Structure 1
């Protein structure tokens, strides 16, 4: 039986799980998995049948590398993460070498999703869910104004880069910090207003930041699966339940938000909506048009999100899906002997 060839470029290490979920699918479909990463010891590469080192380049050079990789290895389906927007803009180049790409092709939407403040304005216009109070700033004076406006409105304040990913660059403004105590404790994502203002004042301007109200309630990731036209097939709200615990909940408000997002934006295949409550109101943190970092926990619902997205992208139908909710899940480390010969140089 001919195996379908799938390629992951530079992903998070949890792609190790996603590759194995695709490989160990419920239909017995056969896959050969290829991967590249700039770090030869990245864990995701250990799940690949074939792995290569990728160059530390950007723009057209990176696209050329990926297209050439797909051509050389006759890749059937490419699942990108790094430089996903550039790849979305150039799907035609991959199609010319016979490779489908599992990515949202709405370039305008992708550009908004990569700049969180632009996407917030899109959500505000549509009115499909609540967003935090926020300001976009690029210099110290704007930062001070935003901080004062939010605190005067009764909010605690945090900030993060407009184009950041995950928790990178996220800070909570906390003026009660004790730096001496923190030296002997865990590293924290907190900073005083004075320290932040001093740092921002050291430069004339900096890349756009969102200064926003800090949300105090439960935090959820809603892992979603849609077909190639963006029709929602399944959604699993996953709540942070302390430490590594995650609760898969049949939360009607969040399932309705997932349906509204799917109808409004038509994001295909895998996407993830991050929400956090303020009192009784869930508010948007961000939307990622890809598999989330915690998707393997949501797969405990019985929905094999990575494989089903692949199946859809390859043109197969996916029948009615019925996630199991009410599941408390977690994860543990697993020791693994590294195959030092896994990665080849091209």
Structure 2
């Protein structure tokens, strides 16, 4: 039996993919700390997680043991679960967190350390300058702006939160009127950062003008066994399988010892060469889109981890998708 703990909103897509690929005799468990029956309801058994990571882990070990579950897949709190790997092993439970040790999470969750390690390993990445005060921010910006556009993001974070592109000539109020554009003039940003009581460490980087590629991958001890790259083109997303971006993602997953269903993001420079943006040691919010290519990544992951034959997959070339909102009826 396999248990998918709370993850991203795409947990539902992951459960559906695994359920489709597994024999009916293999039960799929799913849990969430919130009231999310649209997620837990598609599993064979749905559970409600307690609030708080510390309490949850003990509860997970006890519950998995009582139900005879053999494989536990951490979702959102992979780093916390990785710290307790020995406890899962002692209980006879296989644990998948996204990494092989705490070091994976230490390196990929801190973007400053991630960039330094990627450069040391010879993996193409975007060079960054870490700043912790307004004076350092000014100096870093002036240094990079001399050769091209500049952007900034937090040293620690997910989902692209805190990312801004410094756009010369942008209206100062634009960042408030249209925050989704992620564009701000440097003077406005610098003034706000200088006024902050606590200066969060930030990474100042060259802004690459190319497109991003989000590579969803199934990894086993650092080795990619299945992957699909997604790239936005207007309102659609297209897919790629054997490209420079996916090759870079595979090399990065190997170096950082990723393990499980993970996501690597890259961005192309002006010449179309990909550079690492980040590694997320967890499945992405858009992993469900990859099913349109004929490759069932969650199914590949679940079957291989349980020692079963993976689902047949036939790559469909030229597929595009567009996300739409669909209402799901929930129990009262």
- Residues 231-242 of structure 1 correspond to what in structure 2 (within 5 A)? 231-242=223-234
- The answer to which of 162-171 and 315-324 deviates more is 315-324
- Residues 20 and 317 of structure 1, relative CA distance in 2, 3 Å threshold: closer
2:58 to 45, 50, 64: 64
- Residues 1-346 of structure 1 correspond to what in structure 2 (within 5 A)? 4-9=1-6, 11-25=7-21, 27-28=23-24, 30-37=26-33, 39-41=34-36, 43-48=38-43, 49-55=45-51, 57-58=52-53, 60-103=54-97, 104-128=99-123, 130-154=124-148, 156-178=149-171, 187-203=180-196, 205-227=198-220, 229-243=221-235, 245-280=236-271, 281-316=273-308, 318=310, 323-340=315-332
Number of matched pairs? 329
2:224 and 2:42 map into 1 onto residues whose CA distance is 29
- The answer to which of 134-143 and 168-177 deviates more is 168-177
1:23 and 1:92 map into 2 onto residues whose CA distance is 28
Partner of residue 344, structure 1: none
- Residues 153 and 183 of structure 1, relative CA distance in 2, 3 Å threshold: closer
1:182 and 1:35 map into 2 onto residues whose CA distance is 38
CA RMSD of aligned residues (A): 2.6
2:76 and 2:331 map into 1 onto residues whose CA distance is 24
Offset, 1:100 = 1.7
1:273 and 1:332 map into 2 onto residues whose CA distance is 24
- TM-score normalized by structure 2? 0.88
- Residues 153 and 65 of structure 1, relative CA distance in 2, 3 Å threshold: farther
Offset, 1:127 = 0.9
Offset, 1:53 = 4.5
- Residues 327 and 68 of structure 1, relative CA distance in 2, 3 Å threshold: same
- Does structure 1 retain, via aligned residues, the 8 Å contact 2:37–2:330? no
Gapped regions of structure 2 (runs ≥ 5): none
